[in-house]
Homo-oligomer: A and B are copies of this chain.
Amino acid sequence: MSDKTGPMESLLRDAGVRITRQRKIILKILADHDDHPDAQAIFRRAVLTDKTISLSTVYRTMSLLEERGAIQRHSFQGGRARYEHAPGDHHDHLIDVETGQVIEFISERIEALQEEVARRLGYEIVDHRLEIYGRRIRKPGEKQQP
C-alpha cells in the first residue's frame, strides 16, 4: 500500500541505525496513516503485524525518529504524547475536543506577529506552539458525522 518507507530506511541506515523488523513495522504504520497517534495507538497497530513487539520498543523507536527529525512529538492537553510523521513544513494544530482529531494549519500572519511580540520583549524564538481546542460548528441541516 505504500513504499514511502524505503527512503526513510536508507536515511536511517546511512546514519548507522539498524533497520530491524520492528522498526520497519513502525515506519510503515507511520507512513500509512496520516493522523496523530500516541504510543499506545502505534503499539496496538504494530501488534496486528507482530504479536511480540513491545511498547518499550515503540517508545524507543519514537525517540530515535524524533532525534533524527523524522517525526515530531506533541504534548497536547490530556496525558499522552502524540506523534506526527515527517513534519517538513511548520504548522500549528487545531484539536477537536470532541473527537481528538487534529487539524493542521499555518498562518503566516500569526507567525510574523509572534516574532514581533518576542522581539519587543527582547527575546529570540527558540520554539513555539499554538494549539487551538475547538468544537465543530454545525450549520443547520448539516449531517451529524460527515
> Looking at the complex, which one of B119, B130, B135 makes contact with A123 (CB distance below 8 Å)?
B135
A114 contacts the other chain (CB 8 A) = yes
Q: Is A64 an interface residue (CB 8 A)?
A: no
A124 surroundings in chain B (CB, below 8 A): 134-135, 137
The smallest C-beta distance from A115 to any residue of chain B, in angstroms, reads 9
| Size of A's binding interface in residues, CB under 8 A | 32
Chain B residue numbers with a CB within 8 Å of A119 are 137
Q: Is the CB of B133 within 8 A of A117?
A: no
Known: A75-B77, A109-B113, A117-B107. A133 touches B127 (CB 8 A): yes
Residues of A within 8 A of B (CB): 75, 77, 94, 96-97, 103, 105, 107, 109-110, 113-114, 117-119, 121-137
